[in-house]
Amino acid sequence: MTSVGGSGLRLLHVHAHPDDESSKGAATTAKYVAEGVEVMVATCTGGERGSVLNPKLAHDETVLHNIAEIRRAEMAAAREILGVEQRWLGFVDSGFPEGDPLPPLPDGCFALQDPVEAAGPLVQIMREFKPHVVTTYDEIGGYPHPDHIQCHNVTMEAFVAAADPARWPEHGPAWQAAKLYYHMSFHRRRYAALEELMHQHGMASKQPVPIRDDDPYSDGRLTTFIHCAEYFEVRNAALVAHATQVDPDGPWFAVPLAIQQAGWPTEDYQLKISKVPTIIPEDDLFAGLREPLVSDYVI
């Protein structure tokens, strides 16, 4: 593939559902696209079993009966806003089981696939796109949605398998991505900073996620802080494109944009794997890769 703007750098985000690419790391994406990095989103499922979370559409029969088609159209709109390429892995949404005891997952859904086998389509994308950097979720999926956990499992499997010429030879020559990150932007430090700034401006906190003292995504796991506040508006536009999932008057937008930009101007990550030397903390997902850039980086 040819690079956008001649940077030669390539970034692959692996997400569970359409809308995840807009709610996690979207400002980072927009920043790198603006800098000429080629960015691809691999979407594991079509979000077919996702609920309609926007109350304005929750009782629209047309939406309810055409959710799969509508979510594909929403993804197309968000893809254009972010300026990314996007591929579907073709798995079926598992839904979010609720109740006590939890109901069984639907037959054939993404979360019930063998990660070793399910990694095949992603291995093909990695070998074709040749990303230098890959992002995904941590071992609990960021939150315990079965598709998010499976997205983690499949990405970790594919990251290793794509570099092994003995595995999936039908998908082309082996490719070793240089770095793998976990998304970590929903953490206590960020929410505490935004809440404090809102109080200073006389506003009550209406953040979408409460602050937890036992939040696992605090200081110890944050390694990389991408300054991208000037792209928060692009992120918001991509989020709004997923109209079935995001209410533009809802909690995702409860914190004014200026407060977000001043209070926590970064999107944050944990560097999990690096094949190149780097220094923590980082302010660039491509730290260690820019000078010089090996255009066909293989280890």
Please work out, in degrees rounded to the nearest 5, the angle formed at the alpha carbon of residue 273 by the alpha carbons of 269 and 277. 95
| Residue 1 in this model has a pLDDT that exceeds 50 | no
pLDDT bin (cut points 50, 70, 90) of residue 104 is very high
Instruction: Yes or no: say if 21 and 15 are a contact pair by the CB < 8 Å rule.
Output: yes
| Residue 299 in this model has a pLDDT that exceeds 50 | no
Check residue 179 and give its pLDDT.
98
Residue 155's contacts (CB-CB under 8 Å, 6 or more residues apart) are 14, 122, 134, 136, 137, 180
Check residue 4 and give its pLDDT.
34
Q: For the sheet with 38-45, list strands across it.
A: 85-91, 38-45, 10-15, 133-136, 179-183, 266-274, 224-227
Q: Read off the pLDDT of each residue in 82-104 and give the average, rounded to a whole number.
A: 93
Whole-number Å distance between alpha carbons of 268 and 185: 5
Domain ranges in the chain? 10-186+220-259+266-274
Q: Give residue-wise pLDDT tens across range 36-80.
A: 999 999 999 999 998 899 999 988 899 989 999 999 999 999 999
| Residue 295 in this model has a pLDDT that exceeds 60 | no
Binding-site members are 17, 20, 148
Average pLDDT, the chain: 91
Q: Tell me, what amino acid is at 234? A: V
Q: Give residue-wise pLDDT tens across range 124-175.
A: 999 999 999 999 999 999 888 999 999 999 999 999 999 999 999 999 999 9
Whole-number Å distance between alpha carbons of 235 and 229: 10
Check residue 78 and give its pLDDT.
98
Instruction: Yes or no: say if 132 and 11 are a contact pair by the CB < 8 Å rule.
Output: yes
| Residue 105 in this model has a pLDDT that exceeds 70 | yes
Three-state secondary-structure class, residue 125: helix
Please work out, in degrees rounded to the nearest 5, the angle formed at the alpha carbon of residue 161 by the alpha carbons of 157 and 167. 135
Counting Cα atoms < 13 Å in the Cβ hemisphere of 74 gives 28
pLDDT above 70: percentage of residues in the chain? 90
Superfamily of domain 10-186+220-259+266-274: LmbE-like (3.40.50.10320)
Radius of gyration of the CA atoms of the chain, in A:
19
pTM of structure: 0.92
Check residue 246 and give its pLDDT.
94
**Whose CA is closest to 43, among 183, 147, 131, 179?**
147
Binding-site members for Zn(2+) are 17, 20, 148
| Residue 215 in this model has a pLDDT that exceeds 80 | no
Residue 47's contacts (CB-CB under 8 Å, 6 or more residues apart) are 17, 18, 19, 67, 68, 71, 93
Q: Which run of H or E residues covers position 225?
A: strand 224-227
| Residue 205 in this model has a pLDDT that exceeds 80 | no
The residue ranking higher by pLDDT, 20 or 291, is 20
Q: Read off the pLDDT of each residue in 256-285 and give the average, rounded to a whole number.
A: 96
Please list the residues that pair with 269 across neighbouring strands: 183, 224
